[in-house]
Structure 1
Amino acid sequence: MYVIGLTGGIGSGKTVASDWFTKQGIQVVDADVVAREVVQVGQPALLQIQQQFGDWVILENGELNRRALREYIFQHPDAKKTLENITHPIIRQSIIQQLQTAASPYVILVSPLLFETGQTHLTQRNLLIDTPEHLQLHRATQRDQISHQHIQTIMSHQMPREEKQQRADDIVVNDGELAHLYAQLEPLHQQYLNYAKKTASM
């Protein structure tokens, strides 16, 4: 299976871009969705998190208290590594399984931490949805209804924009209307179809 990694910082437009690929008939595996699935009630990862951090991470309905855990990790950097040691192997295995069973000509792996978590080992090519930081801040604040400071904190924990640009094979600049974004995605889609076809014929 020919896999395209799709990444970008918070508020960059990853979801808008991946939705466009879905409309072209391309299957999308979203790492964020997988990350939520593996900590649902009854999943082994949720029990491991509870055992490691304590009962305070579990809501009354048995679900993970994401907000409390997120705030705790921001205040205790070492806890982030502990959480990742629990979740990342399970997330990775689920992603691999979904990529292997994809039925479209190629498949998109959407991940905000594509480069940071080494998920590029699963991809043949990587696409960056690149957005100026002031636009990221504005869009994310409007969308999530949280403070600029909180968004800036999230951005500070992500790989710098310049480093992502250096690592990406393809870059689409999302700083205007959706039509501008789609116009950049269309020729890439055709390229990816060709790459996938060549790989399949080898």
Structure 2
Amino acid sequence: MTGNTATTTRRLAAKLTIGLTGGIGSGKSAVAHLLAAWGASVLDADVIAHELTAPGGAAIAPIGEAFGAAMITADGGLDRARMRAAVFADPGRRHQLEAILHPRIGRVLRERAALAQGAYLVLVVPLLVEGLERWRGVVDRIAVVDCAEDLQIERVMRRSNLDASQVRAIMATQATREARRAAADDLIDNSTDLAALQARTRDLHGQYLQIARRI
């Protein structure tokens, strides 16, 4: 629900900007944490979406108006489970939610990108490939975290209270693995262990630093 947040093709920052994406359970967050620890500025569209839909978040009032009070929890945040069920059942409702969230996420991204102090900027966007035409004008390179679909399902089931059919339903709303791989400027294999992921990510970080110095 947070993928196509680039409402404009203009760049968000003067520095090197990497679009980081991958399917659910691929390991995007792990890669983002590594890059941040090594000196990149990382902005995550999903994190911003959670902020906007937390109690008191800027998207809560318009969501309540559009979807009704039943979508808002007693503490004033978004009922994520109920909303997830609603938007998966009805693409029109999903588009309605996106129309509320995406412009707000885009504004926050622009504001925070302007203040970013890292060696380069990383935008973590789960559905970047689904909005590829818009994002190509925003990022310099697209990095895709990749693993087999069976491994994605296993990881998501292990970390979340979802069964295999629910995970597959989420994956069905995302670009195919082949489409993500085809869009990638940089491919990060996450099919083995953390040490291998760290090594591949470290190599890319070094490349990004070299490119950033030339900009």
TM-score, normalised to structure 1, is 0.94
Query: What is the CA distance between 1:172 and its match in structure 2?
Result: 1.2
CA contact (8 A) 1:114 1:120 kept: no
Measure, in 1, the Cα distance between the counterparts of 2:39 and 2:153. Answer: 31
Partner of residue 66, structure 2: 52
Letter in 2 for 1:187: D
**Superposed displacement of residue 121, structure 1:** 3.1
Deviation at 1:145, TM superposition (A): 3.0
State the TM-score, normalized to the length of structure 2: 0.89
Offset, 1:45: 1.9
Structure 1 unmatched ranges of 5 or more? none
Deviation per residue, 1:128-170 (Å, 9 max, x gap): 0011111111111111131000000001110001011111110
Which protein is richer in helix relative to its size?
1
State the match for 2:20 in structure 1.
Answer: 6
**Contact 2:55-2:75 at 8 Å conserved across structures:** no
Runs of 4+ in 1 over 6 A off after TM superposition: none
Which letter does structure 1 place at the counterpart of 2:25?
G
How many residues align? The count is 199
Q: CA contact under 8 A between 1:129 and 1:173: conserved in structure 2?
A: yes
Contact 1:126–1:168 (8 Å) recurs in 2: yes
Q: For residue 39 of structure 2, what is the aligned residue in structure 1?
A: 25
CA distance in 2, matches of 1:33, 1:40: 10
Find the aligned partners of 2:202 and 2:181 in 1 and give their Cα distance: 20
Amino acid at match of 2:181: Q
Cα deviation code 1:51-94 (max 9, x no counterpart):
11111111111111111111111111110011111110110111
What residue in structure 1 maps to residue 210 of structure 2? 194
Q: Give the aligned partner of residue 156 of structure 2.
A: 140
Q: How far 1:42 sits from its partner (Å)?
A: 3.0
Distance of 1:85 and 1:119 partners within structure 2:
17
Q: Does 1:101 align with 2:115?
A: yes
Give the AA of the match of 1:67.
A
- Counterpart Cα distance in 1 of 2:92 and 2:198: 40
Q: 1: CA distance between counterparts of 2:193 and 2:79?
A: 36
- Cα RMSD of the aligned pairs, angstroms, is 1.2
- 1:28 and 1:107 in contact (8 A); partners too: yes
